[in-house]
Structure 1
């Protein structure tokens, strides 16, 4: 394994993380802060599922960088990542987001309206695989974000990759899973993530990078015909 022993990723202490957010202009605005507080109040045991501030800022940045107009998200929860994605959309852009919980997404709907992006977001409740299979089969998506049940990741990936335009970006969250992906005996979710990571690594339809952002973020660019993944 090739590795620069002197330049490993720096560990983020709380103070350094605060500096990162401030210096990088990624400090959550009041609406995002309120969303996080509401999530902790409504579903305290699952509040850790809200995307990290730096990841939310990155989502908005990438949507704008790509000029993405058609986005699909798998896993809505209380709507923070949807809000961040929708904020980056140009006029006429749209986001379809999939979830199974009417309770959790009720919070999302409220904050999408407060953030002025509810007209750009279509929530589809039901099994995400069925929602994805109902989408047009041809490549038409500019960006997709997977952040849902971990055993479903491979199925979501396989439905989305053929629907991504050449050059489109597919993002997958939690791909380091708190480091448990390299454990000798990973739990069920970590084992599913490890299986997904290997599946994605072998997929020559995409150019792939994995970044140590938040809990691990895999970024996959759909390759145009004839372009090498390496």
Structure 2
């Protein structure tokens, strides 16, 4: 038995997608349009989106948070996985990107499930917490890395017992394991990883 996770080669990655990924056309089209944007690397991968949708379904989630929308792929994955009446509160500050997101949410028929909050995420999360703690089932954090810890702390209060917080970029393309890399974003992610590892809550 192997003592560590198998390294993923390019060929193995393509094979994995070929036998596991079932990406709806609307998600594929959104990825294709986003690929032309200079910030396209901010979009989650299709297998991440599919896995997140599975988590939402397994949780039986109805109230969800998407912190960091970009062009809407993650929100769309969540929206497609939610039952009728389910809700995504989607937090972002960029209207240009979220205009693309809205177009695809509408095309997929899930626009009524997604409530876009165009404001700093911290402000939105504070307002949500004022309405009461433990009111959400699932949260996905994928916004500015410097504030990851802040978003995590809010989510700990907003997510119900038995709910789930998913966080993107925790390995930061391997930078977290390189002691020579100490930019503010990498340092922030390392600190959060250590905190979560020791988290008693």
Q: Do they fold alike, i.e. is TM over 0.5?
A: yes
The two structures, once aligned, show a CA RMSD in angstroms of 1.3
SS at match of 1:199: helix
Q: Name segments (4+ residues, structure 1) moved above 4 Å.
A: none
Q: Deviations over 1:143-171 (max 9, x none)?
A: 00000100110000111101111100011
Q: Which runs of 5+ in 2 are unaligned?
A: none
Counterpart of 1:208 in structure 2 is: none
TM-score, reference length from structure 1: 0.82
Q: 1:95 aligns with which of 85, 88, 97?
A: 88
Aligned equivalents of 2:25, 2:162: Cα separation in 1: 34
Does 83-92 or 194-203 show the bigger shift?
Answer: 194-203
1:113 is aligned to 2:112: no
Does residue 149 (structure 1) correspond to residue 144 (structure 2)? The answer is yes
Q: 2:158 is matched with which residue?
A: 163
Question: Deviation at 1:8?
Answer: 2.2
Instruction: Find the aligned partners of 2:105 and 2:27 in 1 and give their Cα distance.
Output: 11
SS in 1 for 2:39: helix
Count of residues in correspondence between the two structures? 198
Partner of 1:10: 6
Does residue 137 (structure 1) correspond to residue 132 (structure 2)? The answer is yes
Larger helix proportion of the pair = 2
2:71 to 78, 89, 96: 78
Counterpart residue number, 1:175 = 170
